[in-house]
Structure 1
Amino acid sequence: MYLVSRRVSQLGKTPSRLEWIATLTRIQQTLSTTRKVMRSGKFVAFFQQAVRTLAGAGGDEVVRVLGAAHKLGMFVFMAADTLGLLGTTLALVRLRNPTRVARIGQRGWMYALIAQLLSALYQLRGLALRNADLQRVRRHVGKTGDVMGERECAMEEQAIRTQRTGLTRQLTASVLDLAIPIKGLGILPLNEGLVALAGSITSLMGVQDVLGKAAG
């Protein structure tokens, strides 16, 4: 929509072009409402996941806490999103300050993404240390000619590579998505076109993940 509006402004606003923009705007609003309806109520699941994550035993403590922080942030975002849907879009409940509710939701999303980003960075650092240890072991195995040890090292190297790919993808998505609440909260004056592009990229990444799981 941003690019279309810019293009129409450059070419000149004729009645047909304005009608076209109005139609695209209605489609965009309908899609936005549909997404909100489909994810309404998900805040309950995120809260339950946060509680389970905090109550869980074992694993890395930092990853566990950051994972719970991500789930709690998403709980706030989804709860505010559902309230906005009921109060603003469907007018089923009365909200005294819908703008404040929306900003609270944006903050929750921003904190969730920051927690996810920090978790990915922390785990990538852990993988780097793990890979360094593996290379030392591999050099020793190479000197001794241990074939079985070489196979185990190769399997471990593949596991590290797979985890690194997933975490890098998660990190990229978090950074791109972070532009949306940062723009919405007015923290940085980001270009609307760049924000829309970032959202489109992460949406395509999400579709790719869903298709990959379906194919698997």
Structure 2
Amino acid sequence: MSNLVYAAATSLSNSKPMDKYVQYTNSLMGRDKLFRFGQYLARLLVYLLGRRTASHGKSSSLVEWLETFRKVQTTLTTTRKVMRTGKFVDFARQSVKALTERGVDEVGRLLSAVHKAGMCIFMAADTLGVLGNTLGLVRLRNAQSVTRWGQRAWVAALVAQAAGAAYKLHNVGLRQADLQRVRKHVEKTDRLGSRECAVEEQMLAQQRVAANKQLVQGVLDLAIPVKNLGLVDLNEGMVALAGTVTSVMGMRDAMSKASAGAAAKAK
């Protein structure tokens, strides 16, 4: 019996799913995206259970589940804020780097820098909130004002992200149109040129997919701060669903980066 248990445990620990899980959870980004998914999924379930309670009346089980998911949402929200305390320094550095990035035109650099600067201010406000409201290490005269400034900066960052993605799509579309015209001329006479065009087309297709994903994430995430600021009267369920969807997208990105990092180390 002990041999069977040992064999099963060994097989499980060496399995690919276990390797993927370890790679993912070893990454701070991976854990943050996982917690974010739990946070917004719990928020969505709170909304759905609240509607069910309102239409069918309160029951002990529904109230218990409602309180459980509220606690999950609150705990994960606080946990994520603590985890990214001080992250604003990294975004400040990224903003400066974006302004001097090579191979990107002025518009692209400016939008990238605005996105990073907005996230820097948002994260700085979050850090102040953790130090003041959560840990009580700093006295904030107007904590609500700090939070609102952070949310406004998040709105600016997401607008810049979406605008940057739309700008990339525009440039990719122009380049693809030029490439199609070039390929028509070289397709029959220059095989090497045709292959080079095919390689660039594949690269542009990948850039289009990445830009589309960035645009969708930016637009969906924008629902969260505009709801918090009261700029748009959005349904709570829509906001929670938007956060859940972008969390899944972020988890997939984190998994890809974790796998790429593990593969690089293996080499």
* TM-score range for the pair, normalised by the shorter chain length: over 0.9
Could you tell me which residue of structure 2 aligns to residue 73 of structure 1?
A: 118
Per-residue CA distance 1:43-102 (angstroms, 9 max, x = gap): 011111112222445531111111110111001100001111121122222111111111
Which residue, 157, 160, 174 being the options, matches 1:115?
Answer: 160
- My pick for the range that moved more, 23-32 or 130-139, is 23-32
Consecutive unaligned residues in structure 2, runs of 5 or more: 1-45, 261-267
What displacement does 1:131 show?
0.5
Matches within 5 A, 1:1-216: 1-142=46-187, 144-216=188-260
Distance in 2 separating the partners of 1:113 and 1:84: 21
Distance in 1 separating the partners of 2:121 and 2:127: 10
SS of 1:4's equivalent? helix
- My pick for the range that moved more, 57-66 or 163-172, is 57-66
Conserved 8 A contact 2:118-2:157: yes
- Rate the CA distance shift 1:138–1:166 in 2: closer, same or farther, 3 A: same
Distance in 2 separating the partners of 1:91 and 1:18: 31
Among the aligned pairs, what percent are the same residue?
56
Higher relative contact order (CA 8 A, sep 6+): 2
Tell me the matched-pair count: 215
SS of 1:189's equivalent? coil
Distance in 1 separating the partners of 2:69 and 2:171: 46
SS of 2:137's equivalent? coil
Distance in 1 separating the partners of 2:68 and 2:47: 14
Distance in 1 separating the partners of 2:143 and 2:75: 19
**TM-score normalised to the size of structure 1?**
0.95
Distance in 2 separating the partners of 1:215 and 1:51: 29
Distance in 1 separating the partners of 2:163 and 2:209: 16
Consecutive unaligned residues in structure 1, runs of 5 or more: none
Distance in 1 separating the partners of 2:253 and 2:100: 28
Distance in 2 separating the partners of 1:53 and 1:125: 20
Distance in 1 separating the partners of 2:65 and 2:103: 56
Distance in 2 separating the partners of 1:16 and 1:78: 38
**What amino acid does structure 2 have at the position aligned with 1:164?**
R
The alignment yields a C-alpha RMSD, in angstroms, of 1.3
